[in-house]
Structure 1
Amino acid sequence: MSTTAFPPITEHLDDPDAARAEGRRKMDWAMQHMPILTALREQFRESKPFDGYTIGMAMHVEAKTANLVETLADGGAEVAITGCNPLSTHDDVSAALDAHENITSYALRGVDDEAYYEAIEAVIEHEPTITVDDGMDMVAAIHENHPDLIDTIVGGCEETTTGVHRLRAMDADGELDYPVFAVNDTPMKTLFDNVHGTGESALASIAMTTNLSWAGKTVVVAGYGYCGKGVAKKAAGQNANVVVTEVEPRRALEAHMEGYDVQPMAEAAEDADVIITTTGNRDVVTREHFEVLPDGVLLANAGHFDVEVDLDALGEMAVEQYEARDGVDAYEMADGRRLNVLAEGRLVNLAAPIALGHPVEVMDQSFGVQAVCVRELVENGDAYDAGVHEVPDELDREVAEIKLESEGIEIDSLTDTQREYMDSWDHGT
């Protein structure tokens, strides 16, 4: 057990046994729909590739994540885990994880900033040799507060767009002192998790939180990266009128040629029924936009951190703030307009009170990539220098092949002649 002031999850609960049982029920349901992790877990149980390794994790601790954690623990690892967002932890799932003999969970829903970072410190006190992060807070804490551990860390994995952005900036400054796989950037993550996962889960969480329809609404999507593309596509599929805002000219042009209106946020805000931010950057919706937003607008964030909507400015402008319904904070302006912020501006698909995160099948793919990347660090960690690394393509393909096999889908293979043709430069017209 950690010696920090922050104890494991079960010491925070009134009825740990009941919580464990409910958490286990959620995990078992999810695992029925996770064929990739099921296959990898069977392999890891036999080969125990992680014997002798300690894995420190900062993740969204809910049922799907928990199955990744148990897959690594069943492969022999000692795992310590905490949350990567104060509102995305499911306490019952955290308790179920903590019951595993190889897992200590510090994840607790609703902690304040101080306790959030205390829990990260508690994980680090286990002296991890591998890190698995969602947002890069653990990597940052190790470098800032525990540089003595870096020589014993084999490497890490980072799941999110925001986390990879932070890591690349850290790497560019020469400050990243161990290798980290950019799991977010691999095709099995971007093409499915970011597009389908974020698109479906963000819209579902907003709809369930508000009990409102998408049909006929003007939905402004801030950012047209993979997550923004998914949100825009799914909203249009539910008969919303979609407007995209962008700062990158090629993405803006792509959105335009895919049929969406493209406008500056200052213009789009005037007619918005819903604004969903997906940029990973701060101050996307600010004071100038609050001044023109219509009464009743919904403001939701599908980026990692709660900085995309300027809540400080909104709070200063509001004459009254109250909870309109669970997960919806209404900010009333002096002119009577009500601007509604979902999930405190945090990641709406995980932080809203009834949010469940990405669909199970989607996360099975992403967590499969995480699992094989951890295996790669154990088997070939010496081959990677400090810095950000792309996931080896053969690992990404391995996960895709497991998924296809589980679905009973067969595909063609290149013949020797075709392979030679593709690999050659001397076949002209």
Structure 2
Amino acid sequence: MKGVLSGIRVLDLSRILAGPWCTQLLADLGADVVKVERPGSGDDTRAWGPPFAPGPDGAPSRESAYFLAANRGKRSIAIDFSVAAGQDVVRKLAANVDVVIENFKFGDMRRYGLDYSTLHAVNPKLVYCSITGFGQSGPYRERAGYDFVIQAMGGLMSVTGERDDLPGGGPQKCGVPISDLMTGMYATVAILGALNERHVSGLGQHIDMSLLDTQIGWLANHGLNYLVSGDNPRRWGNAHPNLCPYQSFDASNGAMIVAVGNDRQFQSLCRVLGLDQIASLPEFASNSGRLANRELLVQQIQRALASGTRERWLAELEAAGVPAGPINSVAQALADPHVLERGMTFSLPHAMGSEVPQIANPIKFSRSPVQYDRPPPALGEHTDEVLTAAGLSDAAIAGLRESGVIGASNLRTPVPS
């Protein structure tokens, strides 16, 4: 069965994470994605290890886990488009695709003759998405953008981490590069929107995606809390600024969270924990009262939870309809029976001759399921295939390879020590 984006052709000039995350999602949905990489080294993340996936002999390959996380479903071609001959090849490919996505610094694509205006002239229907740290306008547009810097500048770290007055207090980055990932997700939405609008106008357009814009955009309730109240949001650690109790606690044998969202759930929590005596007290009867008396309430809940095991409390809270869950390690989360039943992990046969693990796309369609037809590619694995389909002769391809403009795949080269 064909994917929902079957027939959409994508030329992926991006690297690292935000762009590749977007194009992997497009590939999962059925788009034909051709990833253009530097000959010899490829996407920077190919070298971002260890860990590296094991090859067929069990020894580490050149395929880093980081690269494998964001590049399945794509074909890789190795082209040096810093030189004129490579730029000509990329322009030839761009003339026959629906989408181009790039995440180079502001002005780089124009210098290479691969910017939106140039490619639009040869392909008016082209949807062209640029991802940068700070966008195509504004005083910061020429700065390089890095997820860590964006998390800091965009306010996220100011609301992430333990309170200043507690041990370990201070701003913290998110444990995953969330600004990159969210920008990739927003870019996907923008591309799909532009493709839909093209049905009406018959034209493509330029999408300007900024990591900083994205980070500001998904401050969500924290951003609106400030705009409405004028009070700068603070860090609450694992607690919630607007709900209580809604945080982590320690049972006798492990950490867990309790996430009470309304008064009924609070009453049920108190019954489970044997705290009926506080359930109807005026200071705890409403969420606003619980927030005003947060520290006293949390102390009593913590004392109760510490008297029993995490398994006991989770079972009893689930039966009572109180949202709660264990704080799992990554290993525990990926081994969870529900996660396994939902098919969230799987493996794909790689061109190097071994299987590479993958984490599945969470989208579940009823009629057009996500399909995983291609593993993350080896560097340059599909160069000849793609260029031949684009109309280049064997002699032309051989000439480009001899001059170093295009590269060849090397699947089994060991990782440098």
Regarding TM over 0.5, the answer is no
What TM-score, normalized by structure 2, do the two folds share?
0.31
Q: Point out the structure with the larger helix share.
A: 1
Q: Which has the larger radius of gyration?
A: 2
* Larger RCO of the pair (alpha carbons < 8 Å, separation 6+): 2
